[in-house]
Amino acid sequence: MELIIVYIQGKTRKYLRYVRAAGPLTAVLSGTTFVKIFNPSSISLVGDIPQGLPSFSIPRAFGYATSLIPTALLITGVAILESVGIAKALAAKNGYELDSNQEVLFLGQL
């Protein structure tokens, strides 16, 4: 409940905007503290998380790669739409004209 109040107050009072920005971090920390202290049985804990990263290896079979293609194309489309949308918003805000084709061509060069 307090997070909702801080969120609303952060919109109306400028000096609380940094508190509003820390809202997600506050939610994670308060949830973690609640589970650690009270240990409710309805919430299952993940357990120990191993440190470090697994060693790099190239998979020998690429049979699963075909199932990843639609997801990769969808993510690419969303990224392009997001980039063009941000560019259009900045162009409208700063008063200049934007060529969306040029924006997409530049994304292809990255």
Q: Which pTM was predicted?
A: 0.47
pLDDT digits (tens, 9 = 90+) for 49-98: 888 888 888 877 777 778 888 999 999 999 999 999 999 999 999 999 98
pLDDT digits (tens, 9 = 90+) for 16-37: 666 666 777 888 888 888 888 8
Q: Give the integer Cα–Cα distance in Å for 102 and 21.
A: 34
CA-to-CA dists, residue 86 to 19, 76, 81, 94, angstroms: 26, 15, 9, 12
